[in-house]
Amino acid sequence: MSLGEQRRILEERYPSLLEEKGEREERPRLPPLPGAVEGRVRTRFAPNPDFVIHIGNARPAILSDEYAKMYKGVLVLRFEDTDPRTKTPLREAYDLIKEDLKWLGVSWGEEYIQSLRLEIYYDVARKLIERGCAYIDTCGEEGRDLIRKGVGCPTRNNPVEWHLEELDKMLSGHYGEGEAVLRVKTRLDHPNPSVRDWVGLRIIDTVKHPHPITGSRYNVWPTYNLAVSIDDHMMGITHVLRAKEHEVNTEKQLYVYKCMEWDPPVFIHFGRLKLEGFIMSKSHIRRLLEENPDKFMGYDDPRFGTIAGLRRRGILPEAIRESIIMLGVKPGDVTLSWANLAAVNRKILDKMADRIMYVGDWVELRVDQEECMTATIPRHPERPGEARSIRVCPGDVILLNKSDARGEVRLMGLGNYRVDDGRLVYIGGGLEYARGRRLPIIQWVRKEEAVKTRILRPEGLDLVVEEGYSEAALRDYGVDSRIQLIRYGFARVDSTGAVYTLVYTHS
């Protein structure tokens, strides 16, 4: 018997059972975390501060945060800024990322910056050498070829003391970029050449490539895999949630755990997240910004899938969180469709966004009626008490959408009119008349008090600009307010002034 059938029978015979269950709406939940113990879970979010984060990066942040909260554990925030050369960290990014995380409702209990922990990595490197698990390769460029061939630099077999001395030489600046590296020993016949004796420490000339936090103080930098395995252990991380591009890294990092006799955390890898219709890649966004400085508004342009861009678009943090939790943690790639994100967002927005009348492709009509009338319109259907009044007198000019300006219509809150040769002729009859005749109930703007309004609507890589007029009540809303333009859609106030600029969120 299908669920539907069971339900139908229940409804027929035992309706009270269903009522008691109470179909109350719940936030989506995550599946249980393998091996998690309440109060003991420690997760981490480890961004590279070379740019702001996008919704794809936000996924591990939100999942890690959600799981930490679910099990009353701790989320650790760790900036992974150990490459001043090719992924040079951005000074501002550290704070921008923290802002985005706070906005998303992600809360962390501890915070670390890897570039401030280099001595720790040097210490463990020394221990790895002492335990025979790492060595210094001074073969330079040739060392890589040897590894690829499955042989390795001859120094691999030198005594431990030699390597310890060489490490000190590296640290004291004896070697230049590329002349010496510390490698972590693995099988030399590993099918993936990048795993074979992977590099743990390398030299980066910070005079040429200064680091935004430590300047030119250090010239030996750990690779991702060395720093991460050490930190995850020292920070007591129990569960690592990261994208599947890290699967091979997990394999590499396990060599450190094994050598140091540390218990590895539980690793969970999930597929990549794409947001339909948005540009996500950091490098792509950077390039667009450099090549078209006039076309885009910055990293927070509403056409970008950055957290800042989505925020500017009018997407709420709850909507992002909920959508990401709904997507879950499966290994395949996922595409978050805009329709879905918008639907979740709309549900939340609808309860809070005040209603404003806006007219886009307008036409001017003169009112033809006996006396002044006042429209009182609630700002929100669920809060009828909060209303604004608009007084319309004979001879006033009213703006309507061109497509609405024909036949008989009801101007919302005001009255019924007939559009007749450039005029709006009052025909009376009240709301009952309008309903009975199924007149369109439309929004309108009194020209006298109209607020010039510019709407920016992202459409793929384009930003469609539409100009129109809003009712005076728009002036009550400041930057960042979310409103609903009646019969048009939701929007976020982007700037105020003589002209109001709104970013169109979705219908």
* 65 vs 81, beta carbon nearer RNA: 81
199/128 Cα distance (integer angstroms): 13
187/139 Cα distance (integer angstroms): 19
Q: Taking the complex as a whole, how short is the minimal distance between the CB of residue 124 and RNA, in angstroms?
A: 16
- Is residue 150 within 8 Å of residue 188, measured between CB atoms? yes
Among residues 322, 352, 358, which one has the least CA distance to residue 466? 358
Structure tokens at 370: 């006996």
* 301 vs 375, beta carbon nearer RNA: 375
- Is residue 398 within 8 Å of residue 424, measured between CB atoms? yes
Q: Taking the complex as a whole, how short is the minimal distance between the CB of residue 8 and RNA, in angstroms?
A: 9
200/136 Cα distance (integer angstroms): 10
Q: Taking the complex as a whole, how short is the minimal distance between the CB of residue 387 and RNA, in angstroms?
A: 11
* 110 vs 276, beta carbon nearer RNA: 276
Q: First and final CA of the chain: distance in angstroms?
A: 39
* 301 vs 315, beta carbon nearer RNA: 315
236/64 Cα distance (integer angstroms): 14
Q: Taking the complex as a whole, how short is the minimal distance between the CB of residue 129 and RNA, in angstroms?
A: 17
Q: How many residues does the chain have?
A: 507
Q: Taking the complex as a whole, how short is the minimal distance between the CB of residue 208 and RNA, in angstroms?
A: 13
Torsion angle, CA of 20/21/27/32, rounded to 10 degrees? 140
* 296 vs 369, beta carbon nearer RNA: 369
Q: Taking the complex as a whole, how short is the minimal distance between the CB of residue 56 and RNA, in angstroms?
A: 11
Q: Taking the complex as a whole, how short is the minimal distance between the CB of residue 251 and RNA, in angstroms?
A: 9
* 431 vs 499, beta carbon nearer RNA: 431
40: CB partners within 8 A, 6+ apart? 71, 73, 238
Give me Rg for the CA atoms of the chain: 31
- Is residue 500 within 8 Å of residue 467, measured between CB atoms? no
* 207 vs 498, beta carbon nearer RNA: 207
Q: Taking the complex as a whole, how short is the minimal distance between the CB of residue 144 and RNA, in angstroms?
A: 5
Q: Taking the complex as a whole, how short is the minimal distance between the CB of residue 131 and RNA, in angstroms?
A: 21
* 252 vs 296, beta carbon nearer RNA: 252
* 308 vs 336, beta carbon nearer RNA: 336
441-to-369, 417, 432 alpha-carbon distances in Å: 19, 11, 12
Structure tokens at 6: 């069971």
Q: Taking the complex as a whole, how short is the minimal distance between the CB of residue 11 and RNA, in angstroms?
A: 9
* 19 vs 294, beta carbon nearer RNA: 19
The strands making up 441-442's β-sheet, listed across from edge to edge, are: 441-442, 408-411, 415-420, 423-426, 362-368, 397-401, 445-446
Among residues 164, 163, 160, 200, which one has the least CA distance to residue 184? 200
* 76 vs 344, beta carbon nearer RNA: 344
Q: Taking the complex as a whole, how short is the minimal distance between the CB of residue 237 and RNA, in angstroms?
A: 15
**Angle subtended at Cα 224 by Cα 245 and Cα 177, rounded to the nearest 5 degrees:** 125
340/352 Cα distance (integer angstroms): 19
Q: Name the DSSP letter for residue 191.
A: S
146: CB partners within 8 A, 6+ apart? 139, 152, 153
